Amino acid sequence: MPLQILRTLDAPGPAPAGLAWDGVSLWLNDYRAGRLFRLDPGTGAVQDVLVCSGVLSGLAWDGRSLWQARLDEAWLQCVNPASHDFDRTLAVEGGGRLAGLAWDGEQLWVAAQDRGELMAVERESGRVRRRLPVPVAAAGLAWHGGFFWLAYPTPMIFDAAAGSFEWAGDERRFALVQLDPNTGREVAGYELDFLALGLAWVNDELWLAPAGQGKLVCGRLE
């Protein structure tokens, strides 16, 4: 099933990654610019900017603060959007290359893309409560309607010696899937023509950050 594209906006930085919705504004981090942007989802206008160091990946809103994943450091950072302070840094138990990040109403979930798993992380301690298997190289992650939504390229493998991902065959696809949070089982699947590094639901519309395009895409799933 395809994604119906409703509109496309220019991103404020060259390498958009994680996306999150706080109920009013759309938040985006950029892994090259080292910035966290608050955007008007109607126009894409930048309403606020925070300076953030490190290689930024997933982004989530927990109802009071933003959380962002640091790809190569196995950290989650808690960001106060009002004060621009980094209130806390969590070292995630077990580490890995942390990508997509989501909040399910009780705990944070982050994708360890090198190991192919989702980890439920305690917001206070960084302890991993649960693990669910997902495809290697998992990217954007969101929580909506009681399900996970995950974007990933397929088929991929992780070469631990080289520290890099490689295509596992001639077939190259980009997928968006809806996952059962109890089992990790795929409930529905959609084909994309890009890898979505960030995902965020804004009511019934899905925002995506395509890798390497400098754009944000708003769409609807049929």
Domain ranges (residues) in the chain: 14-202
How many whole angstroms separate alpha carbon 25 and alpha carbon 215? 17
What pLDDT was estimated at residue 3? 86
Burial class from Cβ neighbours inside 10 Å (0-12, 13-18, 19+) for residue 104 reads middle
Over residues 108-127, the mean pLDDT reads 94
Complete DSSP assignment for 100-136: EEEE-SSSEEEEETTTTEEEEE-TTT--EEEEEE--T
Over residues 61-72, the mean pLDDT reads 94
- C-beta of residue 104 within 8 angstroms of C-beta of residue 181: yes
Place of tokens 């890995």: 96
Whether the per-residue pLDDT at 222 is higher than 80: the answer is no
Whether the per-residue pLDDT at 54 is higher than 70: the answer is yes
Over residues 87-106, the mean pLDDT reads 92
Whether the per-residue pLDDT at 2 is higher than 80: the answer is no
Mean pLDDT of the chain: 94
Q: Predicted confidence band at 1 (pLDDT cuts at 50, 70, 90)? A: low
192-213 pLDDT tens trace? 999 999 999 999 999 999 999 9
Q: What is the pTM of this model?
A: 0.95
Q: Predicted confidence band at 12 (pLDDT cuts at 50, 70, 90)? A: very high
What pLDDT was estimated at residue 147? 98
Over residues 21-44, the mean pLDDT reads 95
Architecture of domain 14-202: 7 Propeller (2.130)
Over residues 105-120, the mean pLDDT reads 96
Over residues 165-175, the mean pLDDT reads 93
